Amino acid sequence: MSSRYPEVYAAWQASPEKFWAEQAEGIDWFRTWDRVLDSSRSPFDRWFPGGQVNTCYNALDRHVDGGRGAQLALIHDSPVTNSISRLTYRALRDLVARFAGGLSAQGVTKGDRVIVYMPAVPEAVITMLACARIGAVHSVVFGGFAAKELATRIDDCTPKLIVSASCGIEPNRIVAYKPLLDEAIQLARHKPDKVIVFQRDQQRAHLEKGRDLDWVDVMAAAQPVDCVPLGSNDPLYILYTSGSTGRPKGVVRDNAGHMVALKWSMSGVYGVDPGECFWAASDVGWVVGHSYIVYAPLLHGCTSVLFEGKPVGTPDASVYWRVISEHKVAALFTAPTSFRAIRREDPTGSLIGRYDLSGFRTLFLAGERADPDTVQWAEEKLRKPVIDHWWQTETAWAMAANCVGLGALPVKYGSPTKPTPGNDIVVLDPAGQPVAAGTDGAIAVKLPLPPASLLTLWNNDDGFLDAYMRDFPGFYKTGDAGHIDEDGYLYIMSRTDDVINIAGHRLSTGAIEEVLAAHPDVAECAVIGIKDALKGQVPIGLVVLNAGIDKPADQLSAELVKEVRHKIGPVAAFKTALVVSQLPKTRSGKILRGTMRRIADSEAWTMPATIEDPATLDIVTEAMRRAGLAL
C-alpha cells in the first residue's frame, strides 16, 4: 500500500491553519475559537485563541455520553503488587468527578497548581484528570527524583496542594514516598496548604495532623463536580524537564492545541482506532506518560494500560508479551532501553512464543536513539513493524515519525523517518544557515510550532526565549544535533547541550556537577555521559580534591554517589566518581568534556590544539582505565 504521508504533509504545508482547523473538529468545544492561530506575539504563538474547552470532558464525559461508558478506559497492570484492576470510562469519570470535588472542597480552583508525586497507580491518573476538570494546573514529579529536586519544583510552581502516595514499589525495594515529600516540603520556601496521601497497603505513611489528608477520607466526603469551561490557552499542566543547568525547566502546556494534536497523532502517527488498546510503557512522571498513558488514548476513546513494573525482573523478560496478549494491546510504545534489557535476558526471544500476539500490530520506540541493532532484533523476533519516532517534553508529540496511520514509509535504520505534519524541520550551521543534505548541524523547527508545543516556561518567559528561540531567530532550537539525508530522512545523533539520556530519561550533567561541586572536599569537577550497553548513557564524574585532603578515593567516591542519589535521585544512575589530580582544560579554562567522553568510550580522538597541558589527558585516561573504561 502506498503511503498517504506525502499528500497529507503537503496539505499541511499548503495551509497549516486549514489542516489544524480540520483536526480541531475531532474534539468537543464549549465555544469555538476566534482564530486558528495568533502569531502576533511570535514566538509566543497561540493556537485556537478565544475557544473554550475542557480536556477532562473530552477524555471522559464525552465518551460516556456518546455510548462508551461500559468500555474499559484504564487497565492498571501491576506485577510488582501482583494485581490487575480495570476501570470503565463511566467508572473513571465518576472517580475523577468525585476527586475533583474533593480538590474543590480543599479550596483548589482554576489556575491553582497541584503537584502530583505518585507511583504508577490509577490515583495518579485520576488526580491529573481531576485537575483538568476544574482547571487546576497539575505538575507531576517523577518518583525517582529525590527530595531536593521535588523542593525545587515546589518553589517554582508554588502548589496550593500536593497529592502523593505512601509508597512506590521497585523490584528490589519499597520506596517510601511520604518521607521524601515531607523532607521536600521542609526544604522548600513555599508550603502547600494541604497534602492528600493515597495510602498503599505495602507501606502506610504517617499523616501530619492539620496538613495531611487521607485520599479515602477526601473521596468519602466529596461531591462530584462538572467540567469547567477553560480558555484554549489556559494551562493544563507544567512538566519539569532537564536543561543545561541545575534549574529544571517548567514546560507549560495548553488545553485546546494539546488535545487537537494528540488526538490527531493517535490516528495519524500510531494508526490506532477508538476502542483499541494502547500501551505506553512509561511512567506518568514523564511526558510519554502524560501524552500516551493519560491524555491521547483517552481523548481517542481507546483503552490505556498503566503498567507498574519493569521490562525484566517483574517477574521476567516475558512480562511485556503477557501484558500485550492479556489486554489485547494493538500498539506498544516504549524506550529502546526496555528492549535492550529484554534482549539481554532472552537473547533468542524464546519467551515471545509463549503468548498470543496476533492482535498486536506495531511497536513504537522513542525517548532515546533507537540503535539499529535493537530495532532489527525486535523486528526479527516479533515479526511486526518497529517504528522509531522523535520528540521531546517540549513538544508533547512526535516531531518526526514514520506515520503508520498514513501508511508507513520504507524504514531506514537509525532514522525516525520524516517530519510529522506541523513540523518544518531544518538543520542549521552555527550561523543559522541551512546545511547541505547529509551534513550534521543543529536541528531546528521553523516557527510557528504545531499545536501542543510548549507555551512558555513557567514564570520564565525569558528563559523560554533563551533556551529555545534566541539562537536561531524564527526557529525553535531543539537542542539535538544531526542531519537530513537526500531522501528527507532525519537522523538524530547527539545533543548540543549538557543533557544526557539515561534509559530514556533526560538528565542534566550540569545538575550533577552542582551536587559534586557542593561537596566540601571537591575543588572542581566534570560530569560526562558515557556509553552504556543497557541504558544508552550513564553519567560519570571526574573530581579534583581540595589541597590537603587525603581521604581514600573509594570513600570519597561513595560519598559523592550517595549525595547525587540523595539530592537528584536514583534515576540519575550515578555510580562512578573518579578522583584525579587535574582536569584537562583549554588555555581559556574550559574543561574538555567532549575529549574525555571520547576517551572513556574508547573512541578515536585528537589532541585539542587549545589544550593547556596535554599531560592532564594521560591523568584522566589512567583513572578511567583503572575503572574499566577507556580500554
Residues that bind ligand COA (CB under 6 A): 119, 143-144, 168, 170, 175, 282-283, 286, 288, 310-312, 335, 337-338, 341, 367, 503-505, 534, 570-571, 573
Do 391 and 366 contact (CB within 8 A), yes or no? yes
Q: Which does 229 bind (CB under 5 to 8 A by kind): ligand COA, ligand AMP, none?
A: none
Nearer to ligand COA, 88 or 152 (CB): 152
**What strands, in cross-sheet order, belong to the sheet with 475-484?**
425-428, 441-446, 475-484, 490-495
Q: Which does 388 bind (CB under 5 to 8 A by kind): ligand AMP, ligand COA, none?
A: ligand AMP
Nearer to ligand AMP, 149 or 480 (CB): 480
Q: What does the block give as the cell for 125?
A: 491518573
Nearer to ligand COA, 43 or 243 (CB): 243
The residue type of 324 is: I
Q: What does the block give as the cell for 593?
A: 568534556
Do 408 and 331 contact (CB within 8 A), yes or no? no
Q: Which does 246 bind (CB under 5 to 8 A by kind): ligand AMP, ligand COA, none?
A: none
Residue 83 CA to residue 258 CA, distance in Å, equals 32
Tell the smallest beta-carbon distance from residue 506 to ligand AMP (Å). 3
Q: Which does 503 bind (CB under 5 to 8 A by kind): ligand AMP, ligand COA, none?
A: ligand COA
Spatial neighbors of 471 by CB under 8 A, at least 6 apart, are 432, 442, 477
Three-class secondary structure assignment of 13-56: HHCHHHHHHHHHHHCCCCECCCCCEECCCCCCCEECCCCEECHH
Alpha helices by DSSP H, 208-349: 215-221, 256-268, 287-289, 296-299, 319-327, 336-345
Q: What residue has cell string 546545511?
A: 435
Q: Which does 392 bind (CB under 5 to 8 A by kind): ligand COA, ligand AMP, none?
A: ligand AMP
Tell the smallest beta-carbon distance from residue 505 to ligand AMP (Å). 6
Tell the smallest beta-carbon distance from residue 131 to ligand AMP (Å). 21
Tell the smallest beta-carbon distance from residue 311 to ligand AMP (Å). 18
Residue 332 CA to residue 279 CA, distance in Å, equals 5
Tell the smallest beta-carbon distance from residue 489 to ligand AMP (Å). 12
Chain positions contacting ligand AMP, by CB under 6 A = 241, 287, 366-370, 388-393, 416, 478-480, 492, 495, 501, 506
Nearer to ligand AMP, 143 or 367 (CB): 367
Q: Which does 600 bind (CB under 5 to 8 A by kind): ligand AMP, ligand COA, none?
A: none
Tell the smallest beta-carbon distance from residue 557 to ligand COA (Å). 15
Long-range CB contacts (within 8 A, 24+) of 516-520 = 516/541, 516/543, 516/560, 516/563, 516/564, 516/577, 518/563, 519/543, 519/556, 519/559, 519/560, 519/563, 520/546
Q: Which does 497 bind (CB under 5 to 8 A by kind): ligand AMP, ligand COA, none?
A: none
C-alpha closest to that of 54 among 223, 225, 264: 225
Tell the smallest beta-carbon distance from residue 422 to ligand AMP (Å). 17
The residue type of 315 is: P
Q: Which residues, in sequence order, are bridge partners of residue 479?
A: none
Q: Which does 144 bind (CB under 5 to 8 A by kind): ligand COA, ligand AMP, none?
A: ligand COA
Nearer to ligand COA, 375 or 442 (CB): 375
Nearer to ligand AMP, 342 or 370 (CB): 370
Tell the smallest beta-carbon distance from residue 564 to ligand COA (Å). 11
Do 202 and 219 contact (CB within 8 A), yes or no? no
Tell the smallest beta-carbon distance from residue 501 to ligand AMP (Å). 5
Q: Which does 495 bind (CB under 5 to 8 A by kind): ligand COA, ligand AMP, none?
A: ligand AMP
Burial, 473: exposed, middle or buried (Cβ in 10 Å; 0-12, 13-18, 19+)? exposed
- Reported residue count of the chain is 631
